[in-house]
Amino acid sequence: MIRHVVCFKLKEGASAEEAKEMLLSMRGREETALSVEVGIDGLHSARSYDLILIVTLADFDALARYQTQGYHAKTVKPYMHTVTQTERSVSVDYPVD
């Protein structure tokens, strides 16, 4: 399995709750996602990101499909680009047992 982790820094005025709901809307709609978890930062320090997304996928092929096809690519990703600061998201993709 692969864990896909993304941290987002939202634009001023963007709603973290709305972004969270959009990300969670992948549950049951994005067939490559085995699980979807989303959290909103509670510390709000200078180095904090606003939102974290953790998605579990079967393998790197599923991750490639997730990035380019289906509900995530067509609906969620474009929305997140509208509410995320330019170049203010980071990700890590790693295998898990």
Q: Which residue has the tokens 């047992």?
A: 97
Percent of the chain having pLDDT more than 90? Answer: 96
For the chain, the first-to-last Cα distance in angstroms comes to 7
pLDDT digits (tens, 9 = 90+) for 33-74: 999 999 999 999 999 999 999 999 999 999 999 999 999 999
**In this model, does residue 88 exceed pLDDT 90?**
no
Can you give the residue ranges of every domain in the chain?
A: 2-95
pLDDT band at 87 (very low <50, low <70, confident <90, very high): confident
Q: Which two tokens stand for residue 1?
A: 């399995």
Q: List alpha helices for 1-97, DSSP H.
A: 16-24, 60-68, 70-71, 77-83
Q: What is the mean pLDDT of residues 11-34?
A: 97
Judging by DSSP bridges, how do beta strands 2-10 and 84-95 pair with one another?
antiparallel
Q: How far is residue 3 from each of residues 34, 46, 92, measured CA to CA in Å? A: 10, 26, 8
**CATH 3.30.70.100 applies to domain 2-95:** yes
